[in-house]
Amino acid sequence: ITVSSLGPALDIGLCVEEYRKKADEDLNSPPFDDLRNYAYEEGFSTAGSLSSLASGTDDKEQEFDYLVVWGPRFDMLANMYGHKNEEIEEGGQEEKIVVSV
């Protein structure tokens, strides 16, 4: 098949523009756009505070050693939530992550 056998040259830009116009004019086609107005939730908000979600637990009380056995996909989490030991160096304080297997 050669390009000349396909007929007159097709301008993709014109086709895209034509389909865009059809879609813009069709009021029954999704997605339906609408304007959303959100109010600021400062002191007048009826929503409660989210700070109480973190107050029930403490990271010191939780054990995350099981993350190590979950495999390499969870190494970053294991390093983030593994046991932390503090070591004092000559230059100051260094935090070392210790993960037991």
**Would you give per-residue pLDDT tens digits along the chain (101 residues)?**
454 555 566 678 888 899 889 988 888 877 666 777 666 656 666 666 666 666 666 656 677 788 888 888 888 888 888 765 444 445 555 555 555 54
Q: Is residue 81 within 8 Å of residue 64, measured between CB atoms?
A: yes
Positive or negative, the CA dihedral 36, 40, 41, 46 is: negative
- 93 contacts: CB under 8 Å, gap ≥ 6: 86, 87
In whole angstroms, give the CA distance from residue 101 to residue 67: 9
